[in-house]
Chains A and B, each alone.
Chain A
Amino acid sequence: KQEVTQIPAALSVPEGENLVLNCSFTDSAIYNLQWFRQDPGKGLTSLLLIQSSQREQTSGRLNASLDKSSGRSTLYIAASQPGDSATYLCAVMVSGGSNYKLTFGKGTLLTVNP
């Protein structure tokens, strides 16, 4: 059974700091890995998707890496801003026979202080 763990559970940093969020998964047989942002009481906003054959993806100040063999991914946020404050979720897509489903971690709650 695939399990996804995110460390740390919560992180508080001053504005302008670079930071790294970690995600690990137990089964390397994944199709892709996705990072999401979730604001309080809201739905999911997709940030980056990395296919299983890729090593990293970049979008603006965000960079996500994937090491499938070791079951790890990191989300790097450069020059953090108060607007980056949110919960960040990592999810891996796995096959459950005929279906393809996402297995999520519990998230990292990020607070960026002005």
Chain B
Amino acid sequence: ETGVTQSPTHLIKTRGQQVTLRCSSQSGHNTVSWYQQALGQGPQFIFQYYREEENGRGNFPPRFSGLQFPNYSSELNVNALELDDSALYLCASSLEISGNEQFFGPGTRLTVL
């Protein structure tokens, strides 16, 4: 059974650019949640995808958007990058939209200069 994977591991962008982060969910999991962890803070919920539809989002602006594909992998897109977008981005997969455990990937470290 393959765990949650994320790519890339690190990337550096400049203000105003756009970025796409990718997540492959654990085998059999159809729900993906994305979290942003700024330095020294706990992760914050960005949004959740279930069966290719957005299923709730946290307090993040519309320039944060996502996709989920038929194989349940997911992308997080951020437009018009700001310095404060520098963070560790974590995705987690789970089975169905219920109170089941979420399994986390290793994260993508984004630095915005």
Say whether B42 contacts A105, CB under 8 Å. yes
* Chief secondary structure at chain A's binding surface: strand
Say yes or no for B102: interface residue by CB 8 A criterion: yes
A59 within 8 A of B: no
List A contacts of B40 (CB < 8 A). 106
Establish whether residues A43 and B99, one from each chain, have CB atoms under 8 Å apart when the complex forms: no
Task: Determine how close the nearest CB of chain B comes to the CB of A98; give it in whole angstroms.
Answer: 6
Query: A31 at interface (Cβ–Cβ under 8 A)?
Result: yes
Question: Is A32 within 8 A of B90, CB to CB?
Answer: no
| Contact yes or no, A89 B42, CB < 8 A | yes
Q: Interface size on B (CB < 8 Å)?
A: 29
**Do A46 and B97 have beta carbons less than 8 Å apart?**
no
* Residues of chain B with a CB closer than 8 A to A22's CB: none
**Residues in B neighbouring A101, C-beta threshold 8 A:** 33, 45, 48, 56, 58
Cβ contacts A to B, 14 pairs, < 8 Å = A31-B99, A36-B104, A43-B104, A43-B105, A44-B90, A44-B104, A98-B56, A98-B97, A99-B56, A102-B35, A102-B102, A103-B45, A105-B42, A106-B42
**Besides A100-B98, A102-B35, A102-B43, 5 other A-B contacts (C-beta < 8 A):** A4-B42, A98-B97, A102-B33, A102-B45, A104-B43
